[in-house]
Structure 1
Amino acid sequence: MSDFLLCPATAKPQMSHPQALVPACQECLSIAKKHYFEDIWHCRDQIKRTLRQKYAKHLAIGENWTQEELADSGFDDNIFGGFKKSAWQMFEIARDRVNAQGWPVVIDGIDYPPPLSMAFSFNGVEYSHISEAISEQTQRHALDESFLISLVDIVGKPRFAYAIRLAKLYRGVSLQQKKQLIDELQSDFQS
């Protein structure tokens, strides 16, 4: 059952779109009521961010397993049999929920396009910006965020998974060792 969210909650003189009643499920409505947002796109991003946090364990299934690996896992006993049976479906539901695009915003026949997107996708999950992906991955894997940022700056967004693997390998090592790796990578990637 859908309820409606007044978006934004308070009309202001200079808004990116007029106020609108937007259908929302109970889960999204409860998230939206806890946050301040100035337009529907900011609301959408906040809901997605909250859903990614809430479903982090489900989303991690797709990061750690493929559907084929789960099928061939040998988890057939009572303890892991349920995981084998439902894990991939749990991942897909969480992924699709977080990645839902919504509909175009058209009010009184006027199309209100979203602001320019800085969207970033990693392991099938959409983030509003790469900084959000970096923050989430550092929390999930207990990584040094400034180190991961430096790695991504050097290797680039297309090699984000590689930067995470390096950050995991260098978890818990000295700052000097991290700096040495960064220096080596800079010389490798500049040539």
Structure 2
Amino acid sequence: MSTTHTTSHSTSLGRAAVIGAVAGVIASLVMAMYAMVAGWVQDTGFFTPLYHIASLVAAPETMMTSMENGTAGTAFTFSFGVAVLGALIHMMTGAVYGAVFGLLMARLRLGTLALTALGLVWGAIVLVMSAFILLPLAAAATGAGEPIADMAAMAGWGTFTVEHLLFGIVLGMIVGLRLSRPAQSAPAAY
């Protein structure tokens, strides 16, 4: 009997982690679109946020060129490889934060509205953890320096805050919609 309970427990936690990871990827894409539009509006370049994230492992020249061109009125400087790298790093990070959120929320049995509100809180926690702990650690570990360690200041604290709160709201809403549904059982094998 305890084996069945353990299997059911790990399956529901596994389901919650997967739901959270997928929701985190989707929320990270919404967050990225907001950041890109903000970069365009603020004349720092539409694709600059992707290049900024990619500077974790790539040289920051593409980011700097995009920012300079944005300031000069050319908002759409595009470098395919660096943009894809930035998007992948961003989505993987969103998946990890989302999986953790899904696991934390798995046993609460809350509705979508409550999970959306908790997602907003999670977005604020992710903001603080990223800005003050994880980004400086990642910069030190990879040698990326100031572009990563000071990402919040470089992006602008207002934009950085809204991005993360938006991430949390979207994450919480999707997790709430998916976790409130019962898990679909697989068809019986004959």
Q: Same fold (TM over 0.5)?
A: no
Give the structure, 1 or 2, with the largest relative contact order (CA under 8 Å, sep 6 or more): 2
From the CA coordinates, give the structure whose radius of gyration is larger.
Answer: 1
TM-score for both structures, normalised by structure 2 = 0.28
TM-score for both structures, normalised by structure 1 = 0.28
Structure with bigger strand share is: 1
Structure with bigger helix share is: 2
